[in-house]
Structure 1
Amino acid sequence: MIATAPSTDVRQHILDVARPLLLSKGFTAVGLAEVLAAARVPKGSFYHYFGSKEAFGEAVLEDYFGNYLAHTDTLLAGEGTAAQRLLAFFDDWLDSQTGDEAQSRCLAVKLGAEVCDLSESMRTALERGTGGVIERLARCIEDGRADGSVVPAWEAHAVAAMLYQSWLGASLLAKISRNRAPLDTAVIGTRQLLGLHDKV
């Protein structure tokens, strides 16, 4: 039973149950009662782990980015040249945004514009998480410059930021249009910014 589980497990269970709700409805539209009912925990337990809904939202984002950054590390440290690893990362992004699994969607895309004006702590959690992705991309771009597989258009961090911004925007436009065309355009732009052209 959840009530007898270690406290860290209960806290994690609440976060795990809440993520698909937030991906589906957004932060404001999901009430605590809905989260509590889905997690099957009493209200008192919720406030034992999270002091407020805002603190809960921050914890959801930190947990999401913790998992996402670990996944990013796995992709960018995989086999092949740096260019191949970068393309594997963006192929994974494309699959997650165009597949049938709603739970694989990007929480930054879903909540970014909504929560930044609502909560400074949630905004900074988003900033830390997205900054972590950009830093990892920049390091891999530098690796690509070193192994000769990437010829970036500019300095590595600037290219990484532009790529991330492009994919974040493309993911949002794909949601708006219900069409994957913006993501396909991001793929083309990615190859150009990395100087891949017909390589890889």
Structure 2
Amino acid sequence: MNPAPDIAGTDVRQKILASGRRTMGGKGFSAVGLNEVLTAAGVPKGSFYHYFGSKEAFGEALLQDYFDEYLAEMDQIFGSAGQNKAEQLERYFAAWMESQSFEDCQGKCLAVKLGAEVADLSPAMRAALRSGTAGIIERLTRAIEGGQADGSLASNGDAPALAQSLYQLWLGASIMVKIVRGPQPFENARLTTRQILHPSR
């Protein structure tokens, strides 16, 4: 017989991760100490080391948890009935514009916020970033291939290359909106995306 899952332990771990996402999503990884994360979570310091061996291990788990949720949301968008792939892609990038705010993204822009910073700090965190972004590009690739197949996208370019280029375009736009403090980079990215994919509608 398998032991019953430790629901309380799972809740505490998720509470710490949620607190870390909010605080580090706003200030960055290096600028936030563990005490700040734990105080915001209302969890004693001893509990942290029960779940995470170090701040680096916490950062790795934080990114994995973020990407698990992000990829699940992508799967929901691209699996929705009643929309062709062009419409689903439009919906995905509209959601990107809404969540990657230049004001307060509430931890939803964690990959953008931490990407450049932690890639040079930690091989484990860089691996989590690489795995998560690969998952995003893979889903974009399948959506583009689906749009080419169902006729909703007129572009006949190489889907994996298009997906990678689009992800890089939107990642750059997410940084630029924080620099210019306005949505224009996203509007430019959306226009370029339509020019690249040529939605048929």
When normalised by structure 2's length, the TM-score is 0.92
Q: 1:192 to 1:182 in 2, by over 3 A?
A: same
Instruction: Please give the secondary structure, in 1, of the residue aligned with 2:47.
Output: helix
Letter paired with 1:180: P
Partners of 1:143 and 1:55 lie apart in 2 by 37
What pairs up with 1:160-199 in 2 under 5 angstroms? Answer: 160-196=163-199, 199=200
1:85 aligned onto 2:79: no
Question: CA separation of 1:104/1:122 partners in 2, compared to 1, >3 Å: closer, same or farther?
Answer: closer
Q: What is the aligned partner in structure 2 of residue 60 from structure 1?
A: 62
Q: Which runs of 5+ in 1 are unaligned?
A: none
CA distance in 1, matches of 2:11, 2:98: 30
Q: 1: CA distance between counterparts of 2:174 and 2:30?
A: 21
Q: Which residue of 2 aligns with 1:37?
A: 39
Please list the CA deviations of residues 34-71 of structure 1 after superposition, one character each: whole Å capped at 9, or x if unmatched. Answer: 11111122211100100000000000000000000000
Native 8 Å contact 1:96 1:104 kept in 2: no
Q: Which amino acid aligns with 1:72?
A: M
Per-residue CA deviation, residues 149-171 of structure 1 (Å, 9 max, x unaligned), is 11235210100000100000000
Stretches (4+) displaced over 2 A: 97-102
- 1:104: how far off? 5.5
Evaluate the alpha carbon distance shift between residue 131 and residue 141 of structure 1 in structure 2; reply closer, same or farther with a 3 A threshold.
same
CA–CA distance in structure 2, aligned partners of residues 168 and 153 of structure 1: 23
Q: Among the aligned pairs, what percent are the same residue?
A: 54
1:93-104 equivalence runs, <5 A: 93-98=96-101, 101-103=104-106
**Alignment match of 1:51 (pick from 53, 68, 76):** 53
1:103 aligned counterpart, secondary structure: coil
Considering only aligned residues, what root-mean-square deviation do their CA atoms show, in Å?
A: 1.6
- Residue 120 of structure 2: aligned partner: 117
Please state whether the residue corresponding to 1:192 is helix, strand or coil.
helix
After superposition, the C-alpha distances for 1:97-145 in whole angstroms (9 at most, x for unaligned) are 2486521641111000100000010011011111101000100111111
The verdict on how the C-alpha distance between 1:98 and 1:53 changes in structure 2, with shifts beyond 3 A counting, is closer
Provide the C-alpha distance between the structure 1 equivalents of 2:8 and 2:183, rounded to a whole number of angstroms: 42
Distance in 2, matches of 1:190 and 1:138, equals 14
With the length of structure 1 as denominator, give the TM-score of the two structures: 0.93
Within 1, Cα distance between the matches of 2:107 and 2:121? 24
Please, which of 68, 71, 77 is the counterpart of residue 69 of structure 1?
71
In 1, the alpha carbon distance for the partners of 2:79 and 2:46 equals 42
Whichever residue aligns with residue 63 of structure 2, its letter is L
Instruction: For residue 106 of structure 2, give the secondary structure of its aligned residue in structure 1.
Output: helix
Stretches of structure 2 that go unaligned for 5 or more consecutive residues are: 1-5
Distance 1:54 1:27 in 2: 10
